[in-house]
Amino acid sequence: MESRKRKLVAASRSVMHRLVMPEDSNTLGTLMGGVLMHWMDMCAAIAARRHSNSYAMTVTVDRIQFVGSVQVGEVVILEAEVTRAFRTSMEVGLRVIAENLDTGKKRLCASTFYSFVAVDKEGNTLAVPEVIPETEEQKLRYRDAENRRSSRLEDAGRISEEAKRFEKE
């Protein structure tokens, strides 16, 4: 069996900054959740592509925990990195920080985990490099990723069964 390449978690790190403009907001003057989720998917996809050096397709997004709103005029900082890689899939951890440019104060606004699968131009899955965690936080996320993956696979099995029942109707 051929051993896979290995890459540091830091090699996949993706950081994006977005200034929240009125067109990104709802009637309360806060960032719309759908706009933020689009930005989150883009940032996570960049991390997955950096790690895999291939196309990366979003497979799942874990429950997104929104812990605060973001106001028009604030900057959203999105930070993503691959936390663990399996054979063809990768887990990407992502957090969203809001920054008030007037005060310099930053606060966590959301956090989640994505899973991506590496594919070629025809959509065939590709093997991805293993992940080398370095910091204590990276090592903890790496260890915990197996449990998150198991939960996702259980959910996928239930959804697959539901899809089969739906097709029979």
Task: Enumerate the domain spans of the chain.
Answer: 6-168
Return the amino acid letter for 3: S
Express each pLDDT in 38-71 by its tens digit: 999 999 999 999 999 999 999 999 989 899 899 9
pLDDT tens for 110-147 read: 999 999 999 999 999 999 999 999 999 999 999 999 98
Cβ atoms of 8 and 84 within 8 Å: the answer is no
Residue 48's closest CA among 86, 17, 76?
A: 86
Among residues 1, 91, 2, 80, which one has the least CA distance to residue 44?
A: 80
Q: With pLDDT > 90 as the criterion, what percentage of the chain qualifies? A: 82
Spatial separation of the C-alpha atoms in residues 39 and 86, rounded to whole Å:
25
CB 81 within 8 A of CB 14: yes
Output the pTM of the full model: 0.89
DSSP string, 29-98: SBB-HHHHHHHHHHHHHHHHHHHHSSEEEEEEEPPPEE-S--BTTPEEEEEEEEEEE-SSEEEEEEEEEE
Q: Is 3.30.420.40 the CATH number for 6-168? A: no
